[in-house]
Homo-oligomer: A and B are copies of this chain.
Amino acid sequence: MKDLSEIKQCPRQFVLAINDTLNVLSGKWKLPIIASLLYGKKRYKEIQGNIENITPRMLSKELKELELNGVVIRKVYDTTPVRIEYSLTASGKDILKVLDAMVDWGVEHRKSAIA
């Protein structure tokens, strides 16, 4: 998703904020990657092993994007061979709050859908 500017009657900064959040969460792989890193820093192959069926192309593409968006940190250790560790930024960890709100809504919504 790129643009939510179609929403009117709502402060622009709020629209931008929601937009940012949705950009960080949407797509097939960003959330699994964030989830994997919520349990601590990981190396490329560890994340890959954690997430079933993700291709290396998708994993590096998404990690790059998450890094660019200030959600993930890529740390290169100057050893031989190089060791690369991915972790969440403070913001990245804070997404848990959003996920909590989403869990709450989703659970309640399922209840009311049955009723």
In the assembled complex, the Cα of A89 lies from the Cα of B111 at a distance in Å of 13
Q: Which of A23-75 contact B (CB under 8 A)?
A: 25-29, 31-32, 35-36, 39, 50-54, 70
In the assembled complex, the Cα of A105 lies from the Cα of B25 at a distance in Å of 12
Count identical subunits in the complex: 2
Known: A3-B28, A32-B6. A16 touches B106 (CB 8 A): yes
What does DSSP make chain A's interface, helix, strand, loop or mixed?
helix
Residues on B with beta carbons closer than 8 Å to the beta carbon of A95: 105
In the assembled complex, the Cα of A99 lies from the Cα of B31 at a distance in Å of 17
Whether A110 pairs with B20 at a CB distance below 8 angstroms is yes
| Chain A residues within 8 Å of B, Cβ to Cβ | 1-4, 6-10, 13-14, 16-22, 25-29, 31-32, 35-36, 39, 50-54, 70, 89-91, 94-95, 97-110, 112-113
